[in-house]
Amino acid sequence: MQWSIPADAEQGGYIVEILDGADSVIGHHLFIVKALRKRADALVLVAATSTWAAYNDWGGANHYFGLHPGTPRGRSPLLSAQRPWARGQVWLPEGAPRCINATRPRKPGPARYEFIEWASLNGYAKYYALAGWASFERPFLVWAEQQGYTVHILTQDDLHHDRHALEGYACAVFVGHDEYWTREMRDHVDAFVEEGGKVARFAGNFMWQIRLEDEGRRQVAYKYDAGALDPVAATEPHRLTGAREDPRVNHPGATTFGVNALRGIYASFVGMAPRSPRGYTVFRPKHWAFMETGLGYADMFGGEANIFGYEVDGLEYTFVDGLPEPLYTDGAPCGLQILAMGWATNAEHGRSEDAYSFMLGDGDARFRASILAPDLSDASIDLHSRGAGMVVHFHKGRGEVFTAATCEWVHGLMQADIYTVMITKNVLERFLRNM
């Protein structure tokens, strides 16, 4: 079946319903129409399509599990970018669980996976809540348009293939779970900022460098196994599809967005700090991002809307006179300010009788220790199990970057959390005004 997009179709994201012979909806697809003319007064939202692909299990495999004989859980390092989206990535019914459980546990017990339980009962993809248009980009777009913003949409494919993709816009926006990027994508964002562009990143888990091959039809991510399995490990280590903070890759995410994934990671997620506060603590209330919010030092915001999690990013830091300061040992740009923060973990904790329910154990703490130390002693693993999630701001070249490094910031907008909304609008309006 073929269908041509009308020449006069307005720019935006369009959901296609797939029906069976009885007119029952059996699936959804998405296509994005780009604006014919760029506008400096429009936000440009870059959809995290590489992360969608990483979690898409249509056909039985993704970058997390599958049938590959040489990787843990059979996860596939090679994925087709031509697959349909898994059920729940494009459209969700109202009330579908988020990636963070709705409430904190009130007593000790096994880890709960509310979104996976719901998916199993209702026929949705296991990881629908972790990546996709339905959970992140669409809610932001709906909110932004309700607030009167004009929003143009690009995909990461556009960003990868076209170094001019962001030119003509004043402010580029990234939201939700935005984990997988090529080196080319980052180069194009860095150039945009250096030349005066503004970046508003309300997203978390800037973790893996990937490659796109076969003219973008294949996504490559060896991840934890990159050093041993990626064919370029010996010849082009800087293109390794592993963690950006890996010394072989030597391209920490902080140089682009001000934060690193391995210095943060999990909060309020299953057995990972399930009773964490779920909001950010303010440390620099005089910053313009907090203008008119009334928030002061040590105030928390976003906790009622569960905005802190499920994955967050941070930096190596210390405290000076009660204020967090970057140590500048991990790529943090000069002059960066840590505005607010919370704490995260890379290891699940709980009673021994509940360990059967854990999903990840201390695997990420071990991986971080192996990359950053490298030392797998008990003390090192314990050290590398600790992380933080941050809100940061910095200038770079003629541009600037604001990063609220959490996946669930958008949930604060969905819930009309007044502080999350005010901070978001302060950022967007400043970045559009100073174009």
Which tens digits make up the pLDDT trace of 219-253? 999 999 999 999 999 999 999 999 999 999 999 99
- For residue 338, is it within any domain? yes
CA atoms within 13 A on the CB side of 19: 4
The alpha carbon torsion through 48, 49, 54, 58 (nearest 10 deg) reads 140
The answer to whether position 2 is within a domain reads no
pLDDT recorded at residue 12:
96
**pLDDT(1) > 80:** no
How far is 139 from 177, CA to CA, in rounded Å?
13
280 located within any domain: yes
Write out the H or E segment, with its range, that includes residue 29. Answer: strand 25-33
Query: What confidence tens digit (pLDDT) does each residue in 258-267 have?
Result: 999 999 999 9
β-strand partners of 204: 177
For residue 435, what pLDDT band results from cuts at 50, 70 and 90? low
Main-chain phi, psi angles of 53, to 5 degrees: -60, -35
Q: In what order do the strands lie in the sheet with 218-220?
A: 78-80, 218-220, 208-213, 180-182
pLDDT digits (tens, 9 = 90+) for 378-408: 999 999 999 999 999 999 999 999 999 999 9
Question: Residue 22 pLDDT > 90, yes or no?
Answer: no
Would the pTM of this model clear 0.85, i.e. be above it? yes
Position 4 in a domain: no
Q: Looking up tokens 């021994």, which residue turns up?
A: 352
Is 26 inside any structural domain? yes
**Contact (CB, 8 A) for 212 and 182:** yes
Q: What is the mean pLDDT of residues 148-172?
A: 98
- Give me the CATH number covering residue 45: 3.40.50.880
Pairing of strands 43-47, 171-177: parallel
- Total domains in the chain come to 1
Separation between Cα atoms, residue 55 and residue 52, nearest integer Å: 5
Answer yes or no: is 6 within a domain: no
- Domain with 91, as residue range(s), is 12-433
Instruction: Report the percentage of the chain scoring pLDDT > 90.
Output: 95
Phi, psi of 78 (to 5 degrees): -120, 125
pLDDT of amino acid 3: 83
DSSP letters for 165-223: TTTT-SEEEEEEE--EEEHHHHHHHHHHHHTT-EEEEEEE---EEEEEETTTTEEE--G
pLDDT per residue as tens digits for the range 193-206: 999 999 999 999 99
Residue 3 lies inside a defined structural domain of this protein: no
Q: How many angstroms separate the Cα of 396 from the Cα of each of 173, 217, 334, 336?
A: 16, 33, 9, 10
Write down the pLDDT at residue 356: 95
The answer as to whether 1 is a domain residue is no
